[in-house]
Amino acid sequence: MTNEDYDKQSAREIIEGFENRPEMLVQILHAFLDRFGWISDEAIRQLASELNLSRADVHGVVSYYHDFRTSPPGKHVVKICEAEACQSMGSRELSEHAQESLGLGMHESNDDVTLEPVYCLGNCACSPAIMVDGKTFGRVNADRFDEIVATMNEAR
Ligand code: FES
């Protein structure tokens, strides 16, 4: 995951890549997320100004979608699939275990980790699935989850 400091020139280039089209706001926000890791107030102000939208318009879209986190993520991002196939294979219990073991609720972060739900990782045949820093893991139970997190922490 990229998590660069916000920089207005890079942000402008992203917006120009979408021809400054306000109807592309969701796609631009995804590109911001990929580049900067989160959507800051500064980003919202710049988007509003360059797309000729109100700040309330941009803020409304950002707050509607949980994907658009509005605070910096931890060093690692752990996503637990909570879509149907994974739920049928125990992702709810896995999610509870993850929250307990990381000491975080969903959509919460500390300096090390951000924990988020996700809705299908395209790995339904190997449910329940999780993603850690962009890498997908299948058939994850509580023990395997703890192993993956331990490895993630070693990789710092
Ligand atoms: S439902 Fe979880 S990977 Fe598809």
pLDDT digits (tens, 9 = 90+) for 39-80: 999 999 999 999 999 999 999 999 998 889 998 999 999 999
Please state the pTM of the whole predicted model: 0.82
Residue with the bigger pLDDT between 99 and 71: it is 99
Answer for the pair 115, 98: CB distance below 8 angstroms, yes or no. Answer: yes
pLDDT of the residue at 86:
97
The yes-or-no verdict on residue 1 having pLDDT over 70 is no
Strands annotated E in 22-151: 76-81, 108-109, 113-118, 130-132, 135-137
Interval between CA 130 and ligand 1 midpoint (Å): 9
> Does the C-beta of 114 come closer than 6 Å to ligand 1?
no
* CA distance linking residue 48 with residue 127, whole number of Å: 40
Probe residue for ligand 1, chosen from 86, 95, 136 as the CB with the greatest number of ligand atoms within 8 Å: 86
Interval between CA 87 and ligand 1 midpoint (Å): 8
